[in-house]
Structure 1
Amino acid sequence: MQQEETKTASPCAILVAVDCGEGVYDAEASLDELHELLQSAGYEPGPSVMQRRESPDKATCIGSGRLEEIRQLCSTQEADVVVFDRELSPTQLRNLERELKIRVIDRTMLILEIFASRAQSSEGKLQVELAQLQYMLPRLSGQGTALSRIGGGSGTHTRGAGETQLETDRRHIRRRIESLKQKLAESNKRRQNLRHRRKKNNIPTVALVGYTNAGKSTLMNALTQAGVLAEDKLFATLDPTARSLRLPSGRHVVLIDTVGLVRNLPHHLVEAFHSTLEEAAQADLILNLCDASSPEASVHLSVTKDLLESLNCGETPILPVLNKCDLLTDPSHLPHVGKFVCVSARYGTGIEGLLDAIDQSLPQIHRRMKLLIPFEKAGLAARIRRNGSILEEQYLPEGLLVRAMVDQQLLEDVRPFVVD
């Protein structure tokens, strides 16, 4: 007799939005995004409840009538969790769980949950844990459940004399936060050393940033064949990936894929991932990628631009790149962003044009030259290759004839060997 396979149902989530008109983003679009976030986290999105009011209720965020509606929905839908599309205060979180007798999370907690499941590198895991602990510390209720939701919590700690379990948990979390900060500081130092070496060798850095699910990893693969995870999921890429890229001019650059962004990105995450996001801040060029087929494309570009400005990237050139142009049905929906490049990373359309645009947008530190280098100066050719690139070479009786991109630091050394 064949045994029937049992499929575990995804936990059902009730979505709640409270629109107080204080945001610059459309509440319904944000609720749609919450729906995607829930699917990405493995939940089954159920019915949604929206209330427009002047300000959130201090006790429960939402009015008593809507609270009763949510309670009934939880019963009829056999819901496992209620998710609010805004950050809840510790008091609101406790009151809602007491009233609804079900797990309640907010947008920040959901995003942290997704980040925790996506982190691959040790640094990424440390960053997520730090953000989780910093967020949960003021929300510990003494019910013994908070730490079990965090990767670093074991729930069993030695209690000091006269100390409650809640106090013990808080002490443990504070100690762990300090430990994580120290480890991340060491990791950041290593990252800074790598950046310093790239700068010293005149290797420009191009940072690929943009809204989550815009196709950054697919574009990274199209440009460099990096083999980066490319899924149709929010936050499929969490850990930054760096790959070498050769431009049409022969110039070598380092292309860095960064974590996807969303509107109202929790500030705890921005703080915890500061060293990772700093890769964009320190880049020579930023590619701001968005999904051209999305009706929210302009908002997505704006969200990314706002975060980049908060990281003091105002001096860095930014090149908007509109991906998924193969899905664009109405060109009039394209965001008005001035100069931009249209591509389809999936099908490779527009990639050559993007490479040319990157070449032209980067600060020019190399000069195209034709040189005849005597054989006794062969070391000079090696230096040109190391700090620039040799596009063509031909061995002649008098020496090595090359067409090369020469680093500006070598201009004086190569000047005697320039040929017409």
Structure 2
Amino acid sequence: MDVLQPNEKVIVSGISRMQENFDYSMTELKNLAAANNYDVVGEIRQNLDRSLAGTYFGAGKLDEIKELALANDATRLIVNDELSPSQLRNIEKGVGVKVSDRTQLILDIFATRARSKTAITQVEIAQLQYALPRLHPSANKLDQQGGGGGLANRGAGETKLEMDRRVLNKRIAKLRRDLKEADVGAEVRRAKREENRIPVVALVGYTNAGKSTTMNGLLERYADHPETKTVFEKDMLFATLDTSVRQLTLPDNRKFLLSDTVGFVSKLPHQLVDSFKATLAEAANADLLIQVVDYADPHYPEMMAITEKTLKDIGIENIPMIMAYNKADLRDATLFPQVDGDNIVYSARDDKSLAALIELITKHIYADHETHTYLVPFDQGQIVDYMQRETAVASTDYVEAGTKLVATVDPIQAGKLKKYQVED
């Protein structure tokens, strides 16, 4: 029988640096550690205006961390910022345990969660970009040989370091080429959707805000065979990294595409922001964004600010957005669903909430649709078939001159059907 290995015991730590949201950032760091299956056994904070260039913490604080680690059998320290290579090495020497910074922790979580080839490639690029400046001769066996070789050995170590960097750069270049090839296929699919004029709606927001739950709720109501199309959902940070795109068909036969994107987090590593731009292209090309917010979390305003900053950082701006305040069922004395302009308070697990959300979505994506009356001669049944299949037909009547239909159409459909339009 397999014996379950105990989770690694870790201490989380950080420097306030007068950060307005420092408390929340440290809470989030503990949640990230738990998401990576670490057991958080202690926390150390230091109030400093800025971190020390060489050791990040002050000398006294390093001693305090060392004592706390010994007392709690901790084998790793996690620091709430991205550390320089020298800071990493110096802290490890000072505290006597392994050290990970926030960036490495998030990269580790992403590496564990990546499932699709594209996500795996994106995460590997980010990991290699993070590792590149942290290569050090002391990590190379050639640099650690004893004896009288002195300068010769040091030179060999430096040569090995340069070789390692070349290998990493070549690997990054190859992975980027692979990603570019994958992007071509995605671009073709997006172009085809644009040609067919199917509106695209993208769910964005903080990790674990309920984007996947919202998507699955809508799929169960409006997708054909939803049991084969639902996306993975779990109450955990970064449950999924892949963008999922699904088609929804409303009762009036109008269709749109809904995409579920990777969640955001504060201090999202710039390596990941760069590599995941391709994944977030669905959001960049959307007709409408829905920012899903965990309304039950007291820190939701910070989460919203971070989401909007991240969207701006990756170049997603000037797209209409619905603010969707989810998990209202977990918030005391909160009525839902409530709609006020482009804001909705709802629960992704409530049918009335999902109906209200759909109504809000349709007001946006079908704003340019028009309703007209059409008269199609009986010998042009293919036009009637097209309208019943592709447009929102409100009524059908058979008159002496042909089939009379009242239908709501998009601008392209309106152009195709203009010859059949009659006075309303």
Is TM-score (shorter-chain normalized) higher than 0.5?
yes
Name the count of aligned residue pairs: 397
Q: CA offsets, 1:350-393, max 9 Å, x none?
A: 11110000011225343223323223223333444565444554
Other structure's SS at 2:351 match: coil
Partner residue, 1:294: 297
Note if 1:12 corresponds to 2:30. no
**Aligned residue for 1:148?**
none
Matches for 1:195-344 after TM superposition, within 5 Å: 195-225=190-220, 226-247=229-250, 250-329=253-332, 331=334, 339-344=342-347
Q: Give the 3-state SS of the residue equivalent to 1:65 in structure 2.
A: helix
Amino acid at match of 1:135: Y
Provide structure 1 residue ranges, at least 5 long, that are not aligned to the other structure.
Answer: 146-160
Q: Return the alpha-carbon distance in structure 1 between the equivalents of residues 205 and 7 of structure 2.
A: 29
Query: Cα–Cα, structure 1 residues 122 and 29, in superposed 2: closer, same or farther, change >3 Å?
Result: same
CA distance in 1 between counterparts of 2:362 and 2:341 reads 18
When structure 1 is superposed on structure 2, of 191-200 and 129-138 the one drifting more is 191-200
1:77 corresponding residue in structure 2: 72
2:407 maps to which residue?
A: 404
Distance in 2 separating the partners of 1:363 and 1:395: 28
Separation (CA, whole Å) in 1 of partners of 2:214 and 2:350? 10
Task: Name the stretch that deviates more: 269-278 or 187-196.
Answer: 187-196
Partners of 1:119 and 1:77 in 2: how far apart?
A: 32
Supply the distance in 1 between the matched residues of 2:416 and 2:284 (Cα, whole angstroms): 33
Deviation at 1:54, TM superposition (A): 1.5
State the secondary structure of the residue aligned to 1:255.
strand
Report the 3-state secondary structure (helix = DSSP H, G, I; strand = E; otherwise coil) of the residue aligned with 2:296: coil
Aligned equivalent of 2:25: 30
Q: Which moved more, 1:380-389 or 1:358-367?
A: 380-389
Q: CA deviation at 1:249?
A: 5.2
Deviation at 1:89, TM superposition (A): 0.7
- C-alpha distance after superposition, 1:162-188 (max 9, x if no partner): 974333322211110000111111112
| Structure 2, gaps ≥5 residues long | 141-155, 221-228
Residue in 2 that maps onto 1:155: none
Partner of 1:102: 97
Pairwise CA distance, 1:44: 0.7
Q: Provide the rounded CA distance (Å) in 2 between the counterparts of 1:56 and 1:110.
A: 20
Does the 8 Å contact 2:54/2:90 carry over to 1?
A: yes
1: CA distance, partners of 2:258 / 2:8: 38
One-letter amino acid of the counterpart of residue 279, structure 1:
E
Q: Residues 283, 77 of structure 1: CA spacing in aligned structure 2 closer, same or farther, 3 A cutoff?
A: same
Picking from 60, 63, 68, the partner of 2:63 is 68
- Residues 86-129 of structure 1 deviation map (CA, whole Å, 9 limit, x = unaligned): 11011101111222232111111100100011111000000000
Going from structure 1 to structure 2, the CA distance change for 1:397 and 1:13 (only over 3 Å counts) comes to farther
Q: C-alpha separation between the residues in 2 aligned to 1:84 and 1:296? A: 21
Secondary structure of 1:312 counterpart: coil
Q: How far apart are the structure 2 equivalents of 1:144 and 1:220?
A: 46
CA distance in 1, matches of 2:81, 2:366: 41
Tell whether the 8 Å contact from 2:323 to 2:343 is kept in structure 1 after alignment. yes
State the match for 2:131 in structure 1.
136
Query: Which secondary structure does the structure 2 equivalent of 1:283 belong to?
Result: coil
Match of 1:176 among 163, 171, 175: 171
Indicate which of 177, 181, 186 corresponds to 1:186. Answer: 181
- Which residue of 372, 375, 379 maps to 2:378? 375
User: d(CA) in 2 for partners of 1:249 and 1:301?
Assistant: 34
Distance in structure 1 (CA, Å) of the matches to 2:139 and 2:371? 66
What is the DSSP-based 3-state SS (H/G/I as helix, E as strand, rest coil) of the residue aligned with 2:40?
strand
Instruction: After superposing the two structures, state which structure 1 stretch, 387-396 or 25-34, moved more.
Output: 387-396
Moved more, 136-145 or 239-248: 136-145
Following the alignment from structure 2 to structure 1, what is the Cα–Cα distance between the partners of residues 419 and 107?
A: 59
Distance 2:190 2:388 in 1: 20
SS, match of residue 324 in structure 2: strand
Do structure 1's residue 364 and structure 2's residue 367 form an aligned pair? yes
> Identity of counterpart residues, as a percentage?
36
Q: Are the aligned partners of 2:66 and 2:95 in contact in 1 as well (CA < 8 Å)?
A: yes
CA distance in 2, matches of 1:309, 1:162: 42
The farther-off stretch of 114-123 and 382-391 is 382-391
The AA in structure 1 aligned to 2:17 is: C
Alpha-carbon RMSD across the aligned residues, in angstroms, is: 2.4
CA contact (8 A) 1:17 1:84 kept: yes
One-letter identity of the residue aligned with 1:294: D
Tell me the alpha carbon deviations over residues 211-231 of structure 1, each in whole angstroms, 9 at most, x when there is no partner: 000011110100113321110
1:245·1:254 contact (CA, 8 Å) conserved in 2? yes
Counterparts in 2 of 1:368 and 1:80: CA distance versus 1, 3 Å = farther
- Relative to structure 1, the CA distance from residue 40 to residue 393 in structure 2 (aligned partners, 3 Å threshold; closer, same or farther) is farther
Residue 158 of structure 1 is matched in structure 2 by none
> In the TM superposition, what is the alpha-carbon distance from 1:6 to its structure 2 partner?
3.5
Question: Does the 8 A contact of 1:249 with 1:359 survive in 2?
Answer: no
- Give, in angstroms, the shift of residue 349 of structure 1: 4.2
Give the conservation status (yes or no) of the 8 Å contact 2:366–2:410: no
The 10-residue stretch of structure 1 (168-177 or 286-295) with the greater mean CA deviation from structure 2? 168-177
Is the contact made by 2:252 and 2:393 (CA closer than 8 Å) also made in structure 1? no
State the TM-score, normalizing by the size of structure 2: 0.87
Mapped partners of 1:187, 1:139: distance in 2:
29
Name the SS for the 2:290 alignment partner.
strand
Q: Is the 8 A contact 2:217 2:349 kept in 1?
A: yes
